[in-house]
Amino acid sequence: MPIDVFLALVTFACVMAFTPGPNNIMLAASGVNFGFARTVPHMVGVTIGFVVLMLSCGVGLGLIFAAVPVLQLALKIAGTLYMLWLAYRVATAHQGRDDDGGRVRPFTFWQAAAFQWINPKAVVAVLSALALYVRPGQEKQDLPVMLVVFGLVTAGSVATWAGFGVALRRFLRDPAHARLFNLAMALLLVASIVPMVV
C-alpha cells in the first residue's frame, strides 16, 4: 500500500473510530456506571467484532449488501430498534442499577461483538473503507493492512471513551448528576442514529 494511501487510511480510521457514535457513547456510559475493568469485555467485543465485520465484508459479504438493497434496509431497521432499546437502558441505568433497583450489567464480549453487525456507523465505516482504500487487484495486500490499522485504532478509541467515562465517575457521585449524564448519553445515542438512517 503506497504511503499516501496508508496515511489517508489511518486518518479515516481515526475519524471513524474516535468520533461520537453508538459504540463510543455506550462505552463512556459503561465507564461511568461500571468502571474500566467491568467494561473491558465490552471494549474487546467492539474491537474484535468490528475487525471480524470488516474481514467478512472484505472477503465478499460487502458485495451481498451492495447487491441486495433490502438487506441494507433490514439492517437499518434492526439497528435503529436495537439502539433505541439501548438508549432506554442507558437512560435508566444508574451506577449499575436499573429503575427497579435490580442489578444491570455491562455489555458482554459477545453482545458487543454482535452489535457491530447492526450498528449502522460500523457498517458504513467498513463499506466506505473497503471502497476507498482497497485497490482493485490488491485485495490480498490491502485488506490485512486495513484490518491491523482499524484493529489498533478501534482498540485505542474504545479505551479512550471508556476511560473518559471512568474519569467522570467522581463528578457523578451525586445520583441526580449521574441520572442527567445517563439521560444525555441516551439522547446522544438516539441522535447518532439519525444521520445513518436518513
- Report whether 139 contacts 58 (CB < 8 A): yes
Grid coordinates in use for 103?
Answer: 442489578
Other residues' Cβ atoms within 10 Å of the Cβ of residue 3: 7
Average pLDDT over residues 123-152: 85
Residue carrying the nine cell digits 462505552: 27
Q: What is the pLDDT of residues 70-114, one digit of tens each?
A: 766 676 677 677 777 777 776 776 554 544 455 568 889 999 999
What are the DSSP calls for the chain, one per residue? --HHHHHHHHHHHHHHHHS--HHHHHHHHHHHHH-HHHHHHHHHHHHHHHHHHHHHIIIIIHHHHHH-HHHHHHHHHHHHHHHHHHHHHHHH-BTTB-TTS-B--PPPHHHHHHHGGG-HHHHHHHHHHHHHHS-TT-HHHHHHHHHHHHHHHHHHHHHHHHHHHHHHGGGG-SHHHHHHHHHHHHHHHHHHHHHHH-
Higher-confidence position of 90 and 168: 168
pLDDT of residue 94: 59
Residue 21 banded pLDDT, cuts 50, 70, 90 = confident
Closest CA to 175 of 32, 72, 53, 77: 32
pLDDT of residue 79: 67
Domain boundaries, the chain: 3-13+23-31+40-197
pLDDT of residue 99: 46
Whether 174 shows a pLDDT value over 50: the answer reads yes
Q: What is the pLDDT of residues 37-67, one digit of tens each?
A: 999 999 999 999 999 999 988 887 656 666 7
Q: What is the largest CA-CA distance in the chain?
A: 57
- Report whether 92 contacts 33 (CB < 8 A): no
Neighbour-count burial of 160, counting CB atoms closer than 10 A to its CB (0-12 exposed, 13-18 middle, 19+ buried): middle
pLDDT of residue 4: 83
Average pLDDT over residues 156-162: 94
Number of residues assigned to the chain: 198
**Which range has the worst mean pLDDT, 87-101, 110-124, 147-161?**
87-101
